[in-house]
Amino acid sequence: MEKISLTGQLIQYIFTGITVGSIYAMVALGFNIIYNVTEIINFAQGEFVMLGGLIMVFFSAFLKLPLPLAFLLTVAVVTGVGALMERFTINPLKNATVLTMIIVTIAVSILLKGIAMFVWGKDPYIIPPFSGSEPIVILGAAIQTQTLWVLLMTAVVVVLLSLFFKKTRYGKAMLACADDPDAARLVGIKVNTMVLISFALSAAIGAVAGAIITPISLMEYDRGALLGLKGFGASVLGGLGSFYGAVVAGILLGIIESLCAGLISSGYKDAVALLLLLLVLYVRPSGLFGNVEAGKIKEF
Amino acid sequence: MDRQNRNRLVGLIFFLVLFPVLVMNVGAIGHYLDVMIFVGIYSLINMGLSLLMGYAGQISLGHAAFFGLGAYTSGILCTKLSLSPWLAMFAGVAITALIAYIVGVPSLKLKGHYLAMATLGFGVIVYIFFNEEVALTGGPSGFSDIPGLTIMGLNLNNDLYYYILVWSLVLLTLIFSLNVINSRIGRALRSLHDSEVAAAAMGVETSRFKVIIFVLSAAYASIAGSLYTHYVGFLSPSSFDLFLSIKLVMMVVVGGMHNIWGALLGTWLLTFLGNEWLHVFHDFDILVYGAILLAIVMFLPEGLIDLTPRMRRLWKGR
C-alpha cells in the first residue's frame, strides 16, 4: 500500500478535528442558548446528542424510514424531550439555588441515560452514511462523505439560529430575556415560554448533532457525559454565552484534540480537551474571545 | 456537642454494635456485614462531601478521583515498594491532600456551574490517567494481590474485624466533623453557604475556608480509598469513574445535604440499594437512580433526613 504523505496525514487529522469539533460547537451552542435565557448550565446537554443518535438509529435503521423523514422525526422527538424536561423539572423549581439546579439537570441526565440503556442496551449502534460510502480524496487525505454532511448541517444550524434570533419575534424576545428578564416581562414577553423554547431549541440542536455524527463515530447510551463536558469546554473557551465564540472554539477544540490523538497519544486525547477546559477556567474564565465586561453582556 | 447530636451518636453506636450480632446469625443476610463495610467506606467520603456541599455550599463532581488517588497510592506503594500499609495510607493522604490543594485553590475561585464543571473535568482526567499509565496502575485491567491490613500482628482479613476497623474510623471522623461544624470554621462555613458576599464583608476569609474544607474532604476520600484497596485487594479504574462521583453526590443529596447525618443516611440507603436490593433491576439500575434523585430534589429538597420533621410540620400545620 502506498504510504500516506505527512501533509495528507495532517489534512486527515484536521478534517477529523473539524468534524468532531462541529459536534462540540453544536453542544456548546445548546449550552449557550439555555444559559443566556436562564443562567442554568444544563448538564443533560450531552444526553440530547446521545438521544439524537440513538433515535436516528431507530427511525432509519430499524423502521427503515427514508432518511429526511427519519431525521426530522428524530429532531422532533428530542425537541419534545427537551420541552418535557423544562416543564417537569426546571419550571416547577423557580428560585432554586444554583446547587439545586445543577443536581436537577444531573438527575435528568442520569434518567435519560438510564432510559437509553433500557431501550437500546449497552452496545454501540451505527447507521450508513447519508450518501455514498466511497471516501473523497483531497490532497492525499481520504475524507468521508459524512464529514461533508456534518459541515453542511453545522452551517445550516448556525445560519438558521442567526436568522431566528435576528428576524423572528420569538428570537428577539429570547434575546430580550437574555438581556434582562424583568424588563422583558414588563414589556409583555412571556419569560416562561422563552425558557421552554430555549430548552426545546437546545435539544433540537443536540439531536441534529447526534443524528449526523452517528454514521462516523457510532453511538451508545453512555456517550452523553463526555460530549457534554467537551461541549462545555468549547462554550467556555469561546466565552460562555457567545454565539460565534462557541462555533470557533468548538472547531478549534476538535482540531487540537485530533492532532493530539494523531501525533502524540490517542489515549490522552480526551484528557487534552479537559486540561484545556481547566486551564481556561483557571486563567481566563471569560474565554478566549470575551473580556470580563463583555462576559456580562449576554449577546448571542 | 448538642443533645440531638449526642442522642444520634449513641443511637448509631447502639445500631453498629447490634448489627453484626443480628446479621451474622441469619444465613440469608449474613453477607450484609460486607455491604456495611462498603457503607462505612463511602460514608467516610460523603461526610467530607457533606461538609463541602451542605456547609460550605460548594459542589464537587470529582470526588471519585480523590478516592481513587488514595486507593492507588496505597495499592502501588504496598505491592511495588512493599511499604507498610499504614505508612502507605498516610502517604496517600499526603499526596491526595497536596493534589486537592493544587486543584482547589484555582477551582474554588470559580462559582456554581464553573466549579461543578471544573471538578467534573478533573475527575475525568484522573480517571484517564489511571487507564493510561499502564506501567504504574496496570491500565484498564488493573492489578491485584494487594495485601490486607494487620494491627499489631492481628490480621484484619476477616469481615467482622474489618467492619470494626472501618466503622471506628467513621465514628472518629464523624465526631471530628461535628466538632468542625461547631467550631469557628463551621460558623464561617455556614455564613458562606448563606451568602458569600455577606460573609466576606464581615471579614470571613471565604476562599481560605473553602480550600481548607475541600482539602479535608479529599483527605477523607483518600483514607476511604486506602481502606477500600486493602479490603477488596484489587484495583481497576472502573471503580473510580465519573458515575461514582455522581453517585457520591447523589447519596449526600438523597440523605439531606445540609446535615451530616443526612449524608450517612443517604450513603446507607443507596449503598444497600446498589449492592443488594437493586439487583432486581440489574440492567436498568441507572434509571432507578435517576428517578430517585429527581424525586428527592423535586419533592424533598432537604433530603430523607427531613422526612419526619416535615411530616410533623405538615401535621401541626393542619
pLDDT one digit per residue (tens) for chain A, 300 residues:
455 677 888 888 899 999 999 999 999 999 999 988 888 889 999 999 999 999 999 999 999 999 999 999 999 999 999 999 999 999 888 777 888 888 899 999 999 999 999 899 889 998 988 887 788 887 777 888 899 999 999 999 999 998 998 899 998 898 888 888 888 888 888 888 999 999 999 999 999 999 999 999 899 998 998 999 999 989 988 888 888 889 999 999 999 999 988 888 778 888 888 888 888 888 877 777 654 433 433 443
Q: Is B107 part of a structural domain of the chain?
A: yes
Residue B189 has pLDDT above 80, yes or no: no
A119 vs B: CB within 8 A: no
Question: In this predicted structure, what is the pLDDT of residue A296?
Answer: 39
Q: Which domain holds residue B62?
A: 3-240
Q: Is A1 part of a structural domain of the chain?
A: no
Q: Is A138 part of a structural domain of the chain?
A: yes
Give residue B115's pLDDT band: very low, low, confident or very high (50, 70, 90): confident
Question: In this predicted structure, what is the pLDDT of residue B95?
Answer: 96
Q: Which residues of A touch B57 (CB under 8 A)?
A: 99
Q: Is B140 part of a structural domain of the chain?
A: yes
Give the tens place of pLDDT for each residue, B251-269. 999 998 888 999 999 999 9
What chain B residue is nearest to A44 in terms of C-alpha separation? B290
Q: Is B279 part of a structural domain of the chain?
A: no
Question: In this predicted structure, what is the pLDDT of residue B263?
Answer: 93
Q: Is A149 part of a structural domain of the chain?
A: yes
Q: Is A86 part of a structural domain of the chain?
A: yes
Structural domain count, chain A: 1
Q: Is A88 part of a structural domain of the chain?
A: yes
Question: CB-based contacts of B88: which residues, under 8 Å, 6+ apart?
Answer: B73, B74, B77, B78, B226
Interface test with A, best of B61, B99, B102, B113 (most A CBs within 10 A): B113
* Residue keyed to cell 477529523: A16
B290 vs A: CB within 8 A: yes
Instruction: Tell me the β-bridge partners of A141.
Output: A138
Q: What is the pTM of this model?
A: 0.89
Cβ <8 Å between A100 and B113: no
Tell me, what CATH number does A206's domain have? 1.10.3470
Give the tens place of pLDDT for each residue, B60-112. 999 999 999 999 999 999 988 888 889 999 999 999 999 999 999 988 888 77
Contact A273, A233 (CB under 8 A): yes
Considering only residues 138 to 197 of chain A, which have any Cβ-Cβ distance to chain B shorter than 8 Å? none
Predicted complex ipTM: 0.85
A233 vs B: CB within 8 A: yes
Cβ <8 Å between B293 and A103: yes
A286 vs B: CB within 8 A: no
Q: Which domain holds residue A17?
A: 6-296
Q: Which amino acid is present at B127?
A: Y
What chain A residue is nearest to B301 in terms of C-alpha separation? A100
Structural domain count, chain B: 1
Give the tens place of pLDDT for each residue, B194-203. 777 777 777 7
Question: In this predicted structure, what is the pLDDT of residue A157?
Answer: 94
Work out the minimum CA distance from B147 to partner chain A, whole angstroms. 30
Cβ <8 Å between A108 and B249: no
Question: In this predicted structure, what is the pLDDT of residue B23?
Answer: 81
